Structure 1
Amino acid sequence: MFNLFGRKAPRSNIKPARGPGETVREADLRYLQEWVSTHAVVEAFVEPETIVNEMSVVLVDITGEFTRRRIGGPKGIDVISSTLGVPVYDVEETGYPQRMREKIERDRILRKREEQRERREKLQKERERGESQ
């Protein structure tokens, strides 16, 4: 707490953020290439760097399904554009596509319905146990 005896703080597994001159990691690029090859009509949306997150790209397909990966910095935009061969947009200028927002909302509704179904089943089982006693 106060480091009274001069002991070193425990090391963290957190890696420092990449600098703005860096680019997409190989593993991330391979993942994005595979994702593009298995989805139809893909577009890329670049998200700006924030205090918490590195610059990233969101790939969105025709159904609204999406994936997100860090791209390091502005050089990563060029790599994404040339390697993936998909249109690239700045999310601050265009916003997220409507199909992505609709998919997120559909998934949220389906999750809530499933949670409600599970609660009803649990309540029904509790009632059945109470009646049998």
Structure 2
Amino acid sequence: MGIFSRKSRSKSSSQATGTGSKEAQAATVTHLKTFIAGHPGCEAFIEPPTRVTQTTMVVVADTGEWTRRKVPDPVAARKLATQLGVPAFDVNLSGYPSRMREWNETHRKGL
């Protein structure tokens, strides 16, 4: 069973959320692997689903630079973080790291 597999999900519901296709899954894993390889000290922060968005995972580097991708659920996000070799945190419990906010402040568009 792959990281993005869910026994309870039907094929159509997975495709509707955008993480169901093998291409989308592969693109997510490739993007995160590339980001982690190019940025030392990465950590993953798992964001819970809301009424508007599904579960997402934010990967933050030592520098504060970050990237966000959709994942099927928190369990899949933790498995993916383990596969990628980065620690994973529940953002509701830990919050975002200050280095991420600092990076956002210094890299705002239009300044």
Q: Same fold (TM over 0.5)?
A: yes
Which TM-score bucket, shorter chain as reference? Answer: 0.7 to 0.9
Deviation beyond 6 Å, 4+ runs, structure 1: none
Q: Distance in 1 between matches of 2:77 and 2:17?
A: 17
Q: Deviation per CA, 1:12-48, whole angstroms, max 9, x where unpaired?
A: xxx62269xxxx8121011111111111000000001
Verify: 1:111 aligned to 2:98, yes or no. Answer: no
Q: Distance in 1 between matches of 2:37 and 2:58?
A: 15
Q: Distance in 1 between matches of 2:81 and 2:69?
A: 14
2:47–2:55: 8 Å Cα contact kept in structure 1?
yes
1:71 is matched with which residue?
71
2:45–2:89: 8 Å Cα contact kept in structure 1?
yes
Q: Distance in 2 between matches of 1:45 and 1:103?
A: 16
Q: Distance in 1 between matches of 2:40 and 2:98?
A: 16
Q: Distance in 1 between matches of 2:74 and 2:18?
A: 11
Q: What's the TM-score, normalizing by structure 1?
A: 0.63
2:40 is matched with which residue?
40
- Structure 1: segments with no counterpart, 5+ residues: 1-14, 113-133
Task: Say how many residue pairs are matched.
Answer: 93
Write the mapping of 1:53-132 to structure 2, written as runs, cut at 5 A: 53-108=53-108, 111-112=110-111
Task: State the shift of 1:107 in Å.
Answer: 1.5
Q: Distance in 2 between matches of 1:66 and 1:97?
A: 11
SS in 1 for 2:16: coil
Q: Alignment RMSD, CA only?
A: 2.0
1:7 is matched with which residue?
none
SS in 2 for 1:25: helix
- Structure 2: segments with no counterpart, 5+ residues: 1-14
2:48–2:74: 8 Å Cα contact kept in structure 1?
no
Q: Deviation per CA, 1:97-131, whole angstroms, max 9, x where unpaired?
A: 000001111122x732xxxxxxxxxxxxxxxxxxx
Q: What's the TM-score, normalizing by structure 2?
A: 0.75
